[in-house]
Amino acid sequence: MIRYPIPMVPGPVSVPEPVLAAAAVDYPSGDLEAEFLELYRHARQGLQALMETRNDVVIHTGEGMLVLWGAMKSVLRPGDRVLSLVTGVFGQGFADMARGLGCNVAVFELSHDATLGDIEPLVEIARRFQPRMITAVHCETPSGTLNPIERLGEVKRQCGDGLLLVDAVASIAGARVAVDDWEVDLCLGGTQKCLSAPPSMSFLSVSDAAWDAVGYVKYAGYDALLPFRHVLDDGWFPYTPNWQGLACLDTAVNLVLQEGLDRCIQRHDDVAAHCRRELARLGYRLFPRPDARPSPTVTTVYLPQQREWREFDTDLRRAGLAVGGGLGPLAGRVFRLGHMGSQAQRGIVDRALAVLAKV
Ligand SMILES: Cc1ncc(COP(=O)(O)O)c(C=O)c1O
Protein backbone atom coordinates (compact mmCIF):
# COMPACT_ATOMS: atom_id res chain seq x y z
CA MET A 1 0.00 0.00 0.00
CA ILE A 2 1.25 3.45 -0.89
CA ARG A 3 1.77 5.69 2.14
CA TYR A 4 2.74 9.33 1.92
CA PRO A 5 5.20 10.71 4.47
CA ILE A 6 3.65 14.18 4.10
CA PRO A 7 -0.14 13.63 4.43
CA MET A 8 -2.07 16.78 3.57
CA VAL A 9 -5.31 15.52 2.03
CA PRO A 10 -8.25 17.46 3.55
CA GLY A 11 -9.96 14.32 4.80
CA PRO A 12 -9.78 11.54 5.45
CA VAL A 13 -6.75 12.60 7.47
CA SER A 14 -3.98 10.49 8.96
CA VAL A 15 -5.31 8.51 11.96
CA PRO A 16 -3.15 8.57 15.13
CA GLU A 17 -2.16 5.37 16.96
CA PRO A 18 -4.53 5.61 19.96
CA VAL A 19 -7.52 6.01 17.62
CA LEU A 20 -6.39 3.08 15.46
CA ALA A 21 -5.89 0.95 18.58
CA ALA A 22 -9.47 1.61 19.70
CA ALA A 23 -10.69 -0.27 16.61
CA ALA A 24 -8.41 -3.27 17.11
CA VAL A 25 -10.63 -4.83 19.79
CA ASP A 26 -13.01 -7.78 19.52
CA TYR A 27 -16.04 -5.98 20.98
CA PRO A 28 -19.22 -7.87 21.84
CA SER A 29 -22.65 -6.94 20.44
CA GLY A 30 -23.51 -3.27 20.96
CA ASP A 31 -27.19 -4.19 20.92
CA LEU A 32 -26.83 -6.34 24.01
CA GLU A 33 -24.30 -4.67 26.27
CA ALA A 34 -24.94 -1.78 28.63
CA GLU A 35 -21.29 -0.85 28.18
CA PHE A 36 -21.97 0.19 24.59
CA LEU A 37 -24.69 2.56 25.73
CA GLU A 38 -22.28 4.04 28.27
CA LEU A 39 -19.74 4.61 25.50
CA TYR A 40 -22.42 6.25 23.35
CA ARG A 41 -23.39 8.50 26.28
CA HIS A 42 -19.74 9.41 26.86
CA ALA A 43 -19.04 10.18 23.20
CA ARG A 44 -22.20 12.26 23.03
CA GLN A 45 -21.06 14.29 26.05
CA GLY A 46 -17.65 14.89 24.46
CA LEU A 47 -19.23 16.02 21.19
CA GLN A 48 -21.49 18.41 23.11
CA ALA A 49 -18.34 19.99 24.53
CA LEU A 50 -16.73 20.31 21.07
CA MET A 51 -19.88 21.91 19.65
CA GLU A 52 -20.55 24.06 22.74
CA THR A 53 -24.09 22.80 23.11
CA ARG A 54 -26.53 21.35 25.61
CA ASN A 55 -28.63 20.04 22.74
CA ASP A 56 -28.99 16.35 22.12
CA VAL A 57 -26.38 14.71 19.89
CA VAL A 58 -27.12 11.76 17.59
CA ILE A 59 -24.28 9.50 16.43
CA HIS A 60 -24.85 7.52 13.22
CA THR A 61 -22.86 4.82 11.44
CA GLY A 62 -21.86 6.20 8.05
CA GLU A 63 -19.90 9.09 6.59
CA GLY A 64 -20.74 12.78 6.69
CA MET A 65 -23.15 12.58 3.75
CA LEU A 66 -25.34 10.28 5.79
CA VAL A 67 -26.18 12.94 8.36
CA LEU A 68 -26.47 15.62 5.67
CA TRP A 69 -29.23 13.58 4.01
CA GLY A 70 -30.63 12.21 7.27
CA ALA A 71 -31.07 15.67 8.78
CA MET A 72 -32.72 17.09 5.65
CA LYS A 73 -35.08 14.15 5.15
CA SER A 74 -35.98 14.00 8.84
CA VAL A 75 -37.25 17.57 9.15
CA LEU A 76 -38.40 18.61 5.66
CA ARG A 77 -41.46 17.70 3.65
CA PRO A 78 -42.26 18.38 -0.02
CA GLY A 79 -43.33 21.99 -0.48
CA ASP A 80 -41.39 23.30 2.55
CA ARG A 81 -39.46 26.50 1.88
CA VAL A 82 -35.67 26.26 2.23
CA LEU A 83 -33.19 29.14 2.04
CA SER A 84 -29.66 27.98 1.15
CA LEU A 85 -26.56 30.09 1.62
CA VAL A 86 -24.28 29.00 -1.22
CA THR A 87 -20.59 29.91 -1.16
CA GLY A 88 -19.27 26.61 -2.46
CA VAL A 89 -19.85 23.03 -3.53
CA PHE A 90 -21.42 21.78 -0.29
CA GLY A 91 -23.65 24.86 0.07
CA GLN A 92 -24.91 24.19 -3.46
CA GLY A 93 -25.36 20.54 -2.49
CA PHE A 94 -27.89 21.46 0.20
CA ALA A 95 -29.94 23.48 -2.28
CA ASP A 96 -29.90 20.51 -4.67
CA MET A 97 -30.83 18.06 -1.93
CA ALA A 98 -33.74 20.24 -0.80
CA ARG A 99 -34.98 20.44 -4.41
CA GLY A 100 -34.62 16.67 -4.65
CA LEU A 101 -36.93 16.39 -1.63
CA GLY A 102 -39.53 18.51 -3.41
CA CYS A 103 -38.89 21.66 -1.38
CA ASN A 104 -39.30 25.20 -2.63
CA VAL A 105 -35.72 26.52 -2.57
CA ALA A 106 -34.37 30.08 -2.54
CA VAL A 107 -30.62 30.46 -2.95
CA PHE A 108 -28.42 33.29 -1.71
CA GLU A 109 -25.28 32.74 -3.72
CA LEU A 110 -21.81 34.24 -3.57
CA SER A 111 -18.79 33.22 -5.61
CA HIS A 112 -16.88 30.20 -4.32
CA ASP A 113 -13.91 32.33 -3.24
CA ALA A 114 -16.11 34.50 -1.00
CA THR A 115 -17.66 34.15 2.47
CA LEU A 116 -20.78 35.77 3.84
CA GLY A 117 -20.22 39.46 4.56
CA ASP A 118 -23.16 41.86 4.79
CA ILE A 119 -26.14 39.85 6.07
CA GLU A 120 -28.81 42.45 5.15
CA PRO A 121 -29.68 40.89 1.75
CA LEU A 122 -30.04 37.50 3.42
CA VAL A 123 -32.14 38.97 6.22
CA GLU A 124 -34.39 40.55 3.60
CA ILE A 125 -34.89 37.26 1.72
CA ALA A 126 -35.62 35.44 4.99
CA ARG A 127 -38.19 38.08 5.95
CA ARG A 128 -40.02 37.77 2.62
CA PHE A 129 -39.58 34.04 1.98
CA GLN A 130 -40.21 32.78 5.55
CA PRO A 131 -38.20 29.57 5.10
CA ARG A 132 -38.84 26.45 7.16
CA MET A 133 -35.10 25.90 7.09
CA ILE A 134 -31.90 27.86 6.42
CA THR A 135 -28.92 25.79 5.29
CA ALA A 136 -25.30 26.91 5.51
CA VAL A 137 -21.82 25.42 5.44
CA HIS A 138 -19.26 26.51 8.02
CA CYS A 139 -16.03 25.32 6.38
CA GLU A 140 -16.41 24.93 2.61
CA THR A 141 -13.67 22.32 2.22
CA PRO A 142 -13.39 22.69 -1.58
CA SER A 143 -12.89 26.47 -1.32
CA GLY A 144 -10.86 26.62 1.89
CA THR A 145 -13.21 29.20 3.38
CA LEU A 146 -15.08 29.62 6.68
CA ASN A 147 -18.50 31.26 6.78
CA PRO A 148 -19.38 33.48 9.77
CA ILE A 149 -22.19 31.29 11.10
CA GLU A 150 -22.35 33.52 14.17
CA ARG A 151 -24.16 36.09 12.00
CA LEU A 152 -26.97 33.77 10.93
CA GLY A 153 -28.94 33.97 14.20
CA GLU A 154 -30.23 37.34 13.02
CA VAL A 155 -31.38 35.77 9.74
CA LYS A 156 -33.07 32.90 11.55
CA ARG A 157 -34.97 35.29 13.80
CA GLN A 158 -36.73 36.66 10.69
CA CYS A 159 -38.47 33.38 9.99
CA GLY A 160 -40.56 32.45 13.00
CA ASP A 161 -40.05 28.78 13.73
CA GLY A 162 -37.54 28.26 10.90
CA LEU A 163 -34.62 25.92 11.65
CA LEU A 164 -30.94 26.64 11.07
CA LEU A 165 -28.92 23.70 9.69
CA VAL A 166 -25.14 24.02 9.54
CA ASP A 167 -22.62 21.65 7.99
CA ALA A 168 -19.59 21.81 10.28
CA VAL A 169 -18.08 18.54 9.02
CA ALA A 170 -14.72 20.17 8.26
CA SER A 171 -14.59 22.61 11.18
CA ILE A 172 -15.64 20.86 14.42
CA ALA A 173 -12.51 20.62 16.61
CA GLY A 174 -10.57 22.81 14.17
CA ALA A 175 -12.50 26.05 14.58
CA ARG A 176 -14.93 27.38 17.16
CA VAL A 177 -18.40 25.92 16.64
CA ALA A 178 -20.81 27.43 19.18
CA VAL A 179 -24.13 25.74 18.51
CA ASP A 180 -26.06 27.27 21.40
CA ASP A 181 -24.67 30.82 21.06
CA TRP A 182 -25.24 30.74 17.31
CA GLU A 183 -28.75 29.25 17.61
CA VAL A 184 -28.00 26.30 15.34
CA ASP A 185 -30.73 23.65 15.32
CA LEU A 186 -28.92 20.94 13.40
CA CYS A 187 -25.12 20.97 13.39
CA LEU A 188 -23.52 18.21 11.33
CA GLY A 189 -20.11 16.62 11.81
CA GLY A 190 -17.98 13.70 10.68
CA THR A 191 -15.07 11.71 12.06
CA GLN A 192 -12.57 11.88 9.21
CA LYS A 193 -11.66 15.59 9.29
CA CYS A 194 -10.47 17.46 12.41
CA LEU A 195 -11.22 14.50 14.70
CA SER A 196 -8.70 12.31 12.82
CA ALA A 197 -10.73 9.11 13.10
CA PRO A 198 -11.55 6.73 10.24
CA PRO A 199 -14.42 7.76 7.93
CA SER A 200 -17.01 5.50 9.50
CA MET A 201 -19.17 7.67 11.73
CA SER A 202 -21.07 10.94 11.62
CA PHE A 203 -23.02 12.92 14.19
CA LEU A 204 -25.26 15.93 14.63
CA SER A 205 -26.66 18.11 17.37
CA VAL A 206 -30.44 18.34 17.44
CA SER A 207 -32.29 21.20 19.15
CA ASP A 208 -35.70 20.73 20.80
CA ALA A 209 -37.32 22.56 17.89
CA ALA A 210 -35.60 20.23 15.44
CA TRP A 211 -36.76 17.17 17.44
CA ASP A 212 -40.31 18.54 17.25
CA ALA A 213 -39.98 18.71 13.46
CA VAL A 214 -38.54 15.17 13.37
CA GLY A 215 -41.54 13.93 15.37
CA TYR A 216 -43.92 15.70 13.02
CA VAL A 217 -42.33 14.58 9.73
CA LYS A 218 -41.78 10.96 10.90
CA TYR A 219 -39.35 10.12 8.10
CA ALA A 220 -38.38 6.43 8.07
CA GLY A 221 -35.11 5.24 6.50
CA TYR A 222 -31.59 4.10 7.33
CA ASP A 223 -30.51 7.70 7.87
CA ALA A 224 -33.61 8.72 9.88
CA LEU A 225 -33.15 10.64 13.13
CA LEU A 226 -36.40 9.55 14.73
CA PRO A 227 -35.19 6.17 16.10
CA PHE A 228 -32.42 8.02 17.96
CA ARG A 229 -34.76 10.30 19.88
CA HIS A 230 -34.91 8.05 22.94
CA VAL A 231 -31.93 5.84 22.25
CA LEU A 232 -30.33 6.48 25.64
CA ASP A 233 -33.55 5.55 27.44
CA ASP A 234 -34.56 2.45 25.53
CA GLY A 235 -31.11 1.34 24.24
CA TRP A 236 -32.70 0.39 20.92
CA PHE A 237 -30.64 1.12 17.80
CA PRO A 238 -32.20 0.92 14.31
CA TYR A 239 -29.24 -1.11 12.98
CA THR A 240 -26.29 -3.03 14.42
CA PRO A 241 -24.22 -0.47 16.29
CA ASN A 242 -20.63 0.00 15.12
CA TRP A 243 -18.71 -0.44 18.36
CA GLN A 244 -15.31 -0.11 16.68
CA GLY A 245 -16.39 3.11 14.96
CA LEU A 246 -17.82 4.59 18.15
CA ALA A 247 -14.70 3.64 20.12
CA CYS A 248 -12.52 5.44 17.55
CA LEU A 249 -14.78 8.49 17.67
CA ASP A 250 -14.80 8.57 21.47
CA THR A 251 -11.01 8.20 21.64
CA ALA A 252 -10.57 10.97 19.06
CA VAL A 253 -12.86 13.32 20.99
CA ASN A 254 -10.98 12.55 24.20
CA LEU A 255 -7.68 13.42 22.53
CA VAL A 256 -9.03 16.84 21.58
CA LEU A 257 -10.42 17.44 25.06
CA GLN A 258 -7.14 16.33 26.65
CA GLU A 259 -5.25 18.80 24.49
CA GLY A 260 -7.89 21.41 25.38
CA LEU A 261 -10.41 22.61 22.80
CA ASP A 262 -9.09 26.18 22.84
CA ARG A 263 -5.50 25.04 22.40
CA CYS A 264 -6.52 22.70 19.62
CA ILE A 265 -8.32 25.50 17.79
CA GLN A 266 -5.36 27.82 18.34
CA ARG A 267 -3.05 25.14 16.87
CA HIS A 268 -5.22 25.09 13.73
CA ASP A 269 -5.23 28.90 13.50
CA ASP A 270 -1.45 29.13 13.89
CA VAL A 271 -0.63 26.38 11.40
CA ALA A 272 -3.10 27.75 8.82
CA ALA A 273 -1.74 31.31 9.11
CA HIS A 274 1.81 29.98 8.73
CA CYS A 275 0.79 27.89 5.71
CA ARG A 276 -0.91 30.83 3.94
CA ARG A 277 1.96 33.22 4.69
CA GLU A 278 4.65 30.85 3.41
CA LEU A 279 2.69 29.85 0.30
CA ALA A 280 2.35 33.51 -0.63
CA ARG A 281 6.07 33.98 -0.02
CA LEU A 282 6.78 31.11 -2.42
CA GLY A 283 4.69 32.86 -5.07
CA TYR A 284 1.57 30.69 -4.84
CA ARG A 285 -1.79 32.44 -5.20
CA LEU A 286 -4.38 31.61 -2.53
CA PHE A 287 -7.88 30.88 -3.79
CA PRO A 288 -10.08 32.79 -1.26
CA ARG A 289 -10.50 36.48 -2.04
CA PRO A 290 -8.58 38.79 0.31
CA ASP A 291 -11.85 39.88 1.97
CA ALA A 292 -13.05 36.30 2.51
CA ARG A 293 -12.46 34.42 5.77
CA PRO A 294 -9.97 31.61 5.10
CA SER A 295 -10.50 28.28 6.82
CA PRO A 296 -8.11 27.29 9.60
CA THR A 297 -8.45 23.64 8.52
CA VAL A 298 -7.79 23.67 4.77
CA THR A 299 -5.98 26.00 2.38
CA THR A 300 -7.05 26.13 -1.26
CA VAL A 301 -4.41 27.34 -3.70
CA TYR A 302 -4.43 28.06 -7.44
CA LEU A 303 -2.33 25.66 -9.47
CA PRO A 304 0.86 27.35 -10.66
CA GLN A 305 0.51 28.80 -14.15
CA GLN A 306 1.22 26.36 -16.98
CA ARG A 307 0.84 23.38 -14.64
CA GLU A 308 -1.76 20.73 -15.30
CA TRP A 309 -3.32 19.11 -12.22
CA ARG A 310 -2.51 15.45 -13.00
CA GLU A 311 1.19 15.95 -13.65
CA PHE A 312 1.52 18.44 -10.77
CA ASP A 313 -0.12 15.93 -8.41
CA THR A 314 2.12 13.13 -9.70
CA ASP A 315 5.20 15.26 -9.01
CA LEU A 316 4.02 16.01 -5.48
CA ARG A 317 3.29 12.35 -4.77
CA ARG A 318 6.71 11.31 -6.06
CA ALA A 319 8.16 13.73 -3.51
CA GLY A 320 6.01 12.14 -0.76
CA LEU A 321 3.34 14.83 -0.52
CA ALA A 322 -0.37 13.92 -0.82
CA VAL A 323 -2.76 16.86 -1.32
CA GLY A 324 -6.39 17.22 -2.42
CA GLY A 325 -7.46 18.34 -5.86
CA GLY A 326 -10.16 20.81 -6.93
CA LEU A 327 -13.82 19.77 -6.74
CA GLY A 328 -16.76 20.81 -8.92
CA PRO A 329 -16.09 24.07 -10.75
CA LEU A 330 -12.62 24.21 -9.19
CA ALA A 331 -11.48 20.88 -10.68
CA GLY A 332 -8.16 21.34 -12.47
CA ARG A 333 -7.78 24.92 -11.19
CA VAL A 334 -6.73 24.52 -7.56
CA PHE A 335 -5.13 22.13 -5.11
CA ARG A 336 -5.82 21.86 -1.39
CA LEU A 337 -3.70 21.39 1.72
CA GLY A 338 -5.59 19.83 4.62
CA HIS A 339 -4.01 21.00 7.88
CA MET A 340 -6.75 19.57 10.05
CA GLY A 341 -6.66 17.31 13.10
CA SER A 342 -3.51 15.19 13.17
CA GLN A 343 -2.22 17.11 10.12
CA ALA A 344 -2.43 20.55 11.75
CA GLN A 345 1.29 20.37 12.58
CA ARG A 346 3.84 22.95 11.62
CA GLY A 347 6.39 20.20 10.90
CA ILE A 348 4.11 18.58 8.32
CA VAL A 349 3.26 21.91 6.71
CA ASP A 350 6.94 22.88 6.53
CA ARG A 351 7.80 19.63 4.79
CA ALA A 352 4.94 20.20 2.34
CA LEU A 353 6.18 23.74 1.70
CA ALA A 354 9.68 22.43 1.03
CA VAL A 355 8.25 20.18 -1.70
CA LEU A 356 6.10 22.98 -3.09
CA ALA A 357 9.16 25.25 -3.24
CA LYS A 358 10.91 22.83 -5.60
CA VAL A 359 8.22 21.23 -7.70
C1 LIG B 1 -17.99 20.43 4.23
C2 LIG B 1 -18.25 18.97 4.00
N3 LIG B 1 -19.48 18.48 4.21
C4 LIG B 1 -19.77 17.19 4.03
C5 LIG B 1 -18.82 16.29 3.59
C6 LIG B 1 -19.20 14.88 3.34
O7 LIG B 1 -18.54 14.04 4.20
P8 LIG B 1 -18.21 12.53 3.78
O9 LIG B 1 -17.26 12.59 2.64
O10 LIG B 1 -17.62 11.96 5.03
O11 LIG B 1 -19.49 11.89 3.41
C12 LIG B 1 -17.52 16.75 3.35
C13 LIG B 1 -16.48 15.84 2.85
O14 LIG B 1 -15.48 16.21 2.29
C15 LIG B 1 -17.24 18.12 3.57
O16 LIG B 1 -16.01 18.61 3.33
Tens-place pLDDT, residues 302-317: 999 999 999 999 999 9
CATH 3.40.50.300 fits 6-13+262-356, yes or no: no
Cβ contact 300:143 at 8 Å: yes
Q: What's the longest Cα–Cα distance across the chain?
A: 60
d(CA 116, CA 118): 7
| Distance from the alpha carbon of residue 9 to the mean position of ligand 1, in angstroms | 13
| Distance from the alpha carbon of residue 150 to the mean position of ligand 1, in angstroms | 21
**Tally of residues, the chain:** 359
Which ligand 1 atom is the nearest neighbour of the CA of 68?
4
| Distance from the alpha carbon of residue 259 to the mean position of ligand 1, in angstroms | 25
| Distance from the alpha carbon of residue 315 to the mean position of ligand 1, in angstroms | 26
Residues 6 or more apart whose Cβ sits within 8 Å of residue 311:
none
Each domain of the chain, given as residue ranges in start order, spans: 6-13+262-356, 17-257
**340 SS3 class:** coil
| Distance from the alpha carbon of residue 328 to the mean position of ligand 1, in angstroms | 14
| Distance from the alpha carbon of residue 357 to the mean position of ligand 1, in angstroms | 29
Cβ contact 45:203 at 8 Å: no
| Distance from the alpha carbon of residue 331 to the mean position of ligand 1, in angstroms | 16
Question: What pLDDT shows up at residue 161?
Answer: 86
Which ligand 1 atom is the nearest neighbour of the CA of 142?
16
Angle at 23 between CA 21 and CA 24, to 5 degrees: 65
pLDDT band at 160 (very low <50, low <70, confident <90, very high): confident
Amino acid identity at 338 = G
Q: Which of 155, 177, 147, 160 is nearest to 57 (CA)?
A: 177
Strands 81-86 and 334-338: unpaired
d(CA 318, CA 256): 32
| pLDDT 10s digits, 28-43 | 999 999 999 999 999 9
| pLDDT 10s digits, 119-158 | 999 999 999 999 999 999 999 999 999 999 999 999 999 9
Q: What residue ranges line ligand 1, CB within 6 angstroms?
A: 11, 63-65, 68, 90, 137, 139, 141, 167, 169-170, 190, 192, 199
Amino acid identity at 105 = V
Q: Is 90 exceeded by the pLDDT of residue 115?
A: yes
- The residue whose CA is least distant from atom 7 of ligand 1 is 64
Which among 61, 90, 94, 143 is the best mutation to test ligand 1's pocket, defined by most ligand atoms within 8 Å of the CB?
90
Which ligand 1 atom is the nearest neighbour of the CA of 192?
10
Q: Please report which residue ranges of 151-235 form alpha helices under DSSP H.
A: 152-156, 208-217, 231-234
pTM reported for the whole predicted model:
0.98
Task: Tell me the CATH class for 17-257.
Answer: alpha beta
Which ligand 1 atom is the nearest neighbour of the CA of 65?
11
| Distance from the alpha carbon of residue 319 to the mean position of ligand 1, in angstroms | 27
| pLDDT 10s digits, 206-215 | 999 999 999 9
Q: Which of 70-79, 80-89, 109-118, 155-164 has the lowest mean pLDDT?
A: 155-164
Question: What pLDDT shows up at residue 252?
Answer: 98
- The residue whose CA is least distant from atom 2 of ligand 1 is 169
Q: Please report which residue ranges of the chain form alpha helices under DSSP H.
A: 17-23, 34-50, 64-75, 89-100, 120-129, 152-156, 208-217, 231-234, 243-259, 261-281, 309-318, 346-358
